[in-house]
Structure 1
Amino acid sequence: MLVLLPPSETKSPDGDGPPLDLTTLSTPDLTPVRAQLVEALIRLAADPPAARAALGLSPARDVELARNAALCTSPTKPAVERYTGVLYDALDVRTLTRAQRARADRRLAVGSALFGLARATDAIPAYRLSAGSALPGLPTLRALWRPVLAPVLAASGELVVDLRSGAYQALAPVPGAVTVDVLSERPDGSRTVVSHANKAHKGRVARLLATTTAEPDDVVRVRALLRRAGLHVEHDGATALTLVLPAA
């Protein structure tokens, strides 16, 4: 099972790993696009006004430009520890047992605008690039990633549970992937999309899937696993699951 996580805009700035070496990352088929984007971000960082415009940053966030400028020299850390924020707080890999972490390292990957796909153990630096960014002189990220990333994901041979946001799913859709939507149900039975807490609940789902000793190989077994954990999960008969939560 491969659990695809969305990245986060916020990232841990530290690390004690060696500088980025693209040849050591998983999925070497993605190396040429990764190298093209790394080079483009470093070059762009030398022109702060253009970089701010391309990345949607204010001058107050120039620290992000400095991180991009240092992509090839700054320390790295495992991808699953690099990203921070609500989803990753709920995933909370630092509290996993050794056996749980080994399973999580095998199963978790992050959909990344810069790296395409970063497996949990891939050593990456802090950076700033979002799925909707448009880099000067380059095609859209969707045009760059889809031809190389979509075949990689389609040929993984694993059940894919895709928890990425829509923008990252668009970079490389995965036909037949299990998806999870989060809805809030009011006492009158009406439902609304969960906004802020959506990431936290997906983080909890990711933790369950990453650490289970079971090996679910289809959507029915994923649903059963989540239900055994006490979650109210509905299945529409295809590969979409809906996590229903009582309204706060």
Structure 2
Amino acid sequence: MLVLLPPSETKAVGGDGGPLDLDALSHPELNPARRELIDALRALAGDVPASLDALGLSQRQSEEVQRNAELLQSPTVPALERYTGVLYDALDVGSLSAAERKQADSRLAVASALFGLARGTDAIPAYRLSGGSSLPGLPPLRSMWRPVLEPLLADVDDLVVDLRSGAYATLARVPHAVKVRVLSEDPGGKRKVVSHHNKAHKGKLARALAQAPTEPADVDDLLAVAEAADLRVEREAERELCVVVSA
């Protein structure tokens, strides 16, 4: 099973790993695109106002530009520990047992605008690049990632569970993936799409999938894992599920 997680804009700073080593990352076929984007971010960081504009940041977030400037020198941590925020708080990899963490590292991957796909153990630095960003002199991110990411993901024979948000889903289409959305249900049974808090419920589902003693092989297995974790997950179509939460 491969669970595709969205990244987060917020990231843990620092780390105890050495500088970024692209050759040590999973999926080396993605390295040409990774290098091109890293070079572009580092060059752009020399012009702070231009960086803030391209990355959609405010002046108060100028430290993010410095992180991009130091991409090749700053310390690293495993990808599942780099990202923070609502989804990653709910996933809470730090509280997993050693066996569960090993499963999380093999089953979960982060769909990153900079690295394309970061496996749980991939050591990465703090950076700033969103799925909807446009970098001067480069084509749109989806034009860079689709030619290399889509074939890679198409070759995954195992169950693929897609928890990505919209901007990151456009970077690589995965037609065979099981897509998951979150809906809230009021006492009258009326449902609507959950916005901010959908990340927490996706994080809970990702945690349940990481903890499952037996790796889910199909949608029925996935539903069984969710039920065992007290998550209400319903099948909307053959490859479409929704997590239903009380309003």
Q: Given the two structures, how large is their TM-score scaled by the length of structure 2?
A: 0.98
Distance 1:131 1:73 in 2: 23
Partner of 2:46: 46
In 2, Cα distance between the equivalents of 1:28 and 1:81? 21
**Partner in structure 2 of residue 187 of structure 1:** 187
Give structure 1 regions of 4+ aligned residues with deviation exceeding 6 angstroms: none
- Mapped to 1, the partners of 2:243 and 2:81 lie a distance apart of 26
Structure 2 Cα separation of the partners of residues 96 and 230 of structure 1: 18
Q: Which residue of 2 aligns with 1:231?
A: 231
Instruction: Measure the CA separation in 2 of the matches of 1:158 and 1:28.
Output: 20
Q: How far has the Cα of 1:237 moved from its partner?
A: 3.3
Quick check: 1:19–1:72 contact (8 Å CA) kept in 2? yes
**Other structure's SS at 1:182 match:** strand
Matches within 5 A, 1:58-77: 58-77=58-77
Residue 111 of structure 2 aligns to a residue whose secondary structure is strand
| Residue identity matched to 1:37 | L
- The residue number in structure 2 matching 1:213 is 213
Checking the alignment, whether the CA contact within 8 Å between 2:205 and 2:231 is kept in structure 1 is: no
Residue 238 of structure 1: CA displacement? 1.1
State the shift of 1:236 in Å. Answer: 2.1
Contact 1:3 1:210 in 2 (8 A): no
Distance 1:59 1:233 in 2: 42
**Greater CA drift, 192-201 or 76-85:** 192-201
Aligned pairs for 1:99-248 (under 5 A) are: 99-247=99-247
> RMSD of aligned C-alpha atoms?
0.8
Q: Distance in 2 between matches of 1:58 and 1:27?
A: 33
How far does residue 229 in structure 1 lie from its aligned partner after superposition? Answer: 2.0
TM-score (norm 1): 0.98
**Alignment correspondent of 1:57:** 57
- Which residue identity is paired with 1:225? V
Deviation at 1:216, TM superposition (A): 1.2
